[in-house]
Structure 1
Amino acid sequence: MNIQRFIAPTSREAMARARRQIGDSAVILSTRQTAEGFEVMAAAEESLASIAQAAQPGMAAAAPAAPAARKEVFANTQTSVANDTEAMAMSTLSFQDYVRERMLRKRRESLGGAAAEPEAPVAKAMPQPAMRMADPEPIVVPVQRYNEPPQISAPRAQPIRTRDSGFADSQPPTRFATQDDQRMAVELNALKDMIEERFNTLAWLGSSKNNPIQSSLMHKLIRAGYSPAMARALLERLPVEAGAGEALRWLMDAITRNLRVAGNGAGLADEGGVVALVGATGVGKTTTAAKLAAQCVKQYGAGSVGLVTLDSYRVSGYEQLRSFGRMLGVVAHLAHDRAALKDMLGLLAGKRLVIIDTAGLGQRDQRVQDMLDVLEMPTLKKVLVLNAGSQGDTIDETLSAFKADKLHGVVLSKVDEAVKLGPAIDALVRHHVTLRGVANGQRVPEDWQQPDAGALVKMSMGSANKSAFDPANTDMGFYFAQSGGRNANLGGLHV
């Protein structure tokens, strides 16, 4: 029998080499992982068939002679398995005995008695086939074809070994995703988004340069204080056939339609109820409360208004509200906590309009949520007072901190002090809040107006003063480098 040895980096390549050398009739005798690579012992099916036919008539006589044959084969214990296999022509039965003998020897060596124990007792322990079947843990390694997977059976669940090492699986082990793989996937997705955004920005800027009207409007919006996200969202919807004048009118009309304002007869004094004015320090909450109270007193009398303050932090905060109340003939009350506020609202339940003035808290103050919890009542309307002259980022943070989605509306104060109204209008449009009033001075009650969306947008776009903060045409690329705007929230823009 011609047994050949094949070594390759993987089991698949070793079996492929055996098939190319021997042919489709190659029979795999053993496989193992060695230091040189993956080893496959194979032989042609024809040579095994001739030996099997010769071994069948004398199988009974071959069994008693097996111990003597094993003793002769394994006389030199230092010979490697590969040399033993190439030196002897084994039948199927003798190969099984050979495997069993090697496993028994390995077991003795692990117990520490392999060096002193002779080979003869092993041969005597298995003189008959029946005795061999009684040995512990018999393992049968059937002969398989090249294109069939190895089939190994054992009476018990145990690590199966052939020859000198454990049976190596021809398939690679399953590899599970690690934390590094997940981090790499996140970074690749971020890189992909960044590349797509850059290409889209470059393409959009290229089209803007080719379209002078669009480029001019973009520059005008940025100079007015509108965000790049808002400017791009509007200009992407600009009609292509519009001229310069029509394009500007369309742009202002689009902003006007998206700015939510209270209609005529829907002001805070007209609606009535319980209104709590919240906001940062110094935005004019107390002055706004006095203006609202003056409007209600003028229309419905002094008995229709109730004034309550929660401002116990600011020095003379309560005294300022009391001074406005005395001017209007209205008594101002002080509430220290939620329970006192509930009692006070119960006493003022017959009033048409109850105005609650609160302490000024910056948008990053940790007490903002505590104050909002105090004001969390079913019939109470929270109105945020915003300084129109604040930066766009500050207005954004303030709207988020005071929960813009739960506000009844916004009062835009200090409009007369604001150089640019674009940031405030931009933030109101993106956060989808309703503008309930406009305060443009300190006089009570004269400096108060009902909001007019068209007038405010026109005022925001009409600034012609040059400023060091105004960008040049060549700077537009920097403004739109991050034009996506994760918090732009312009999906519902109406044009």
Structure 2
Amino acid sequence: MKIKRFFASDIRQALRQVREALGSDAVILSNKKVDGGIELVAAIDYDATAFMPQAEPTPETSYTPAQITPKSSRTESPSHPEKLAKASVSLLKEPGMVEAPVKKIPPKVEWSQDPVLVEMRQEMKALRRMLENDLSGLSWREMGDHRPETQDLFRRLMSLSITPDICSQLVESVTNVETADQAWRKALYYLAAKLETVSDDLLDQGGIFALIGPTGVGKTTTIAKLAARFSLRHGNRQVALISTDNYRIGAQEQLNTYARILDVPVRSAGTREELAVALNALKGKRLILIDTAGMSQRDVRLSEQLSLLDVAGQGVQSFLTLSAATDYSSMEQAIAAFGAAKPAACILTKIDEAGSLGGALSALIHKSLPLAFMTDGQKVPEDLHLARSHTLVSKAVACSTGGGEYSDEYLALALGGARANAHG
């Protein structure tokens, strides 16, 4: 292993010297600030096996035979294996025989857990964070000096609570604009284009749809809105409801109340077999809506609940129902957890209760989940709307009006992180 020290005025120049002298395969062993700059210690031809502890040879168990005086001169016949075995055991236990002690081998320590390597990794992480912070601040200041309109556009997009990586992509897509207002409108247009929506009105097609999703997102109320909207178009004789929610107290009673108001049949099913029977009994209906139990994405019973919908030959499609008031991280976790049911589309509820829609937009874009319907109130069925990406983006802009702005330090780190993720 070849080790060499490098001195430079800043970290970037030091890394450049390492790359030029030792190549891209060099390993940074340590870094520290010195008078006039920074000192790096780098190595090449790094041998990981040098840190592996050498196992000591295992001493073989040896016996010192003592003088054995046979008790009888009679030779045992080979036809008596039991006696021969007993004789062998008795010979091994003779007091004249000495057994050498066997030294225990200490447990092998993985080389990756060597204290030197652990400390080296910590130093490299600290070096990387320092370098990322410096580059983030440099990129942000450079953007402000040379492209202040781009910096302002990034700031406005971040105020929508959209994730930094999407904001960075939108900023890079906006070109050939003359004013900041044109850049803003063009960025919002590209944002709407990233959001997938279901082009056809599923209420006209009909079918069997199950609404799945976490607790408290409004699945039962949304089912009532869908059923009422379909009844107004095609008559209530073409609609039926099924409840599989046996966990929440009063869940089935709420659906029964909606069914009485709409004058549509309702069934309950607690198992896959009961669901199959209910679907066969309602086979003549054009639209069958299934209300499922709301569960957390971390609930161990979630897979059991989703498997209930796997009724062979029935063609049950799932709609993932999510609340727009949910934060971005929780929404991404919910989409991943309920993805086992392979939802055909998403229904975004409680838009009127959301403080911002950027998290919902970012999660739907990252997971490539198309949006079918939006709800923005409790009125049945008035507060149910077909998904329109431009309408949702406009609502996101309206929600952000009057919101707080991020500091330059946060925006610099967000921009640096987005570019780092974009480049692997």
TM-score (norm 1): 0.57
3-state SS of paired residue (2:267): strand
- Please point out which of 118, 136, 155 is paired with 1:201: 136
Question: For the residues of structure 1 that align with 2:317 and 2:262, how far apart are their CA atoms?
Answer: 23
Q: Which has the higher contact order (CA 8 A, sep 6+)?
A: 2
Q: Which residue of 1 aligns with 2:196?
A: 260
| Residue 151 (structure 2) pairs with residue 215 (structure 1) | yes
Question: Contact conserved, 1:197 with 1:484, CA < 8 A, in 2?
Answer: no
On the 8 A contact 2:276/2:311 being kept in 1, the answer is no
Judge conservation of contact 1:201–1:483 (CA < 8 Å) in 2.
no
Structure 1 residue 197 displacement after superposition:
4.7
1:159-170 equivalence runs, <5 A:
none
SS state at 1:402 partner:
helix
Distance 1:179 1:472 in 2: 40
Deviations 1:4-26 (A, max 9, x none): xxxxxxxxxxxxxxxxxxxxxxx
The alpha-carbon distance between structure 1 residues 404 and 478, as it changes in their structure 2 partners (threshold 3 A), is farther
Tell me, in whole angstroms, the C-alpha distance in 1 between the residues paired with 2:340 and 2:154. Answer: 28
The amino acid across from 1:268 in the alignment is L
Q: 1:206 to 1:415 in 2, by over 3 A?
A: same
Contact 1:405 1:433 in 2 (8 A): no
1:295 maps to which residue?
229
Query: What is the letter of the counterpart of residue 390 of structure 1?
Result: T
| Identical-residue share of aligned pairs (%) | 30
2:182 aligned partner, one-letter code: E
Tell me how far apart the structure 1 counterparts of residues 124 and 202 of structure 2 sit (CA, whole Å): 48
Matched residue SS, 1:462: helix
Matches within 5 A, 1:343-422: 343-377=277-311, 379-403=315-339, 406-422=342-358
For the Cα contact (< 8 Å) 2:136–2:413, is it kept in 1? no
Identify the residue that residue 366 of structure 2 maps to in structure 1: 430
What secondary structure does 1:403 align onto?
helix
Work out the CA distance in 2 between the residues paired with 1:301 and 1:392: 39
Assess if the C-alpha contact under 8 Å between 2:135 and 2:416 holds in 1. no
How far apart are 1:481 and its partner, in Å? 5.2
**What is the SS of the residue equivalent to 1:286?**
helix
Consecutive unaligned residues in structure 2, runs of 5 or more:
1-109
Task: Kindly indicate whether residue 412 of structure 2 is the aligned counterpart of residue 477 of structure 1.
Answer: yes
Contact 2:319-2:343 within 8 A present in 1 as well:
yes
Residue pair 1:404, 1:431 contacting (<8 A) in 2 also: no
CA shift, 1:402, in A, is 1.1
Which string of whole-angstrom CA distances, capped at 9 and with x for unpartnered residues, describes residues 422-480 of structure 1? Answer: 2111211111111100111111111111111112112212346434x542345422434
For residues 191-225 of structure 1, give each alpha carbon's deviation from its aligned partner in whole angstroms, at most 9, with x where no partner exists: 78757754653443133212221121222122211
Q: Is the 8 A contact 1:275 1:380 kept in 2?
A: yes
Q: Distance in 2 between matches of 1:344 and 1:405?
A: 20
Per the alignment, residue 103 of structure 2 pairs with none
Contact 1:382 1:407 in 2 (8 A): yes
Matched, 1:283 2:213: no
* Helix, strand or coil at the partner of 1:225: coil
Specify the SS of the correspondent of 1:323. Answer: helix
Contact (CA 8 Å) 1:277, 1:385: kept in 2 or not? Answer: yes
Equivalent-residue separation in structure 2 for 1:183 and 1:400 (angstroms): 35
Residue 208 of structure 2 aligns to a residue whose secondary structure is strand
CA distance in 2, matches of 1:291, 1:186: 56
SS of the equivalent of 1:201 reads helix
The one-letter code sitting in structure 2 at the alignment partner of 1:351 is K
CA–CA distance in 1 between the matches of 2:208 and 2:348? Answer: 19
**Aligned partner of 1:397: which letter?**
Q
Q: Indicate conservation of the 8 Å contact 1:311/1:357, yes or no.
A: yes
- Tell me how far apart the structure 2 counterparts of residues 349 and 461 of structure 1 sit (CA, whole Å): 44
User: Does the residue aligned with 1:313 lie in a helix, a strand or coil?
Assistant: coil
CA distance in 2, matches of 1:385, 1:364: 16
CA 1:322–1:485 in structure 2 vs 1: closer, same or farther (change >3 Å)?
A: farther
Q: Indicate the RMSD between aligned Cα atoms, in angstroms.
A: 2.9
Q: Shift of residue 259 of structure 1?
A: 0.6
Return the offset for 1:313.
1.0
State the Cα deviation string for residues 106-140 of structure 1 (Å, max 9, x = none): xxxxxxxxxxxxxxxxxxxxxxxxxxxxxxxxxxx
Sort the Cα spacing of 1:207 and 1:314 in 2 relative to 1 into closer, same or farther, 3 A: same
**1:309 to 2:250 alignment:** no
CA spacing shift, 1:202–1:237, aligned 2, 3 Å = farther
Aligned counterparts of 2:225 and 2:298: Cα–Cα separation in 1:
28
Counterpart secondary structure, 1:249: helix
TM-score (norm 2): 0.66
In structure 2, the partner of 1:459 is: 395
Equivalent of 2:255, from 321, 338, 345?
321
Q: Distance in 1 between matches of 2:375 and 2:113?
A: 55
Q: 1:231 to 1:274 in 2, by over 3 A?
A: same
Deviation at 1:372, TM superposition (A): 1.6
Say whether the 8 Å CA contact 1:279–1:285 is kept in structure 2: yes
Change (3 A) 1:345 1:384: same
Mapped to 1, the partners of 2:246 and 2:257 lie a distance apart of 16
Identify the residue that residue 75 of structure 2 maps to in structure 1: none
1:50-101 CA distance string (max 9 Å, x none)? xxxxxxxxxxxxxxxxxxxxxxxxxxxxxxxxxxxxxxxxxxxxxxxxxxxx
SS in 2 for 1:260: coil
Paired AA for residue 201 in structure 1: S
Larger Rg belongs to: 1
Deviation track 1:229-272 (CA, whole Å, cap 9, x = no partner) reads 21122213331655312211210111111111122xx2231232
Q: Distance in 2 between matches of 1:286 and 1:361?
A: 14
**TM-aligned CA distance change 1:267 to 1:357, over 3 Å:** same
Offset of residue 178 of structure 1: 3.8
Partners in 1 of 2:279 and 2:262 — Cα distance? 20
State how far apart, in whole Å, the 2-side matches of 1:485 and 1:345 are. Answer: 51
State the number of aligned residues.
311
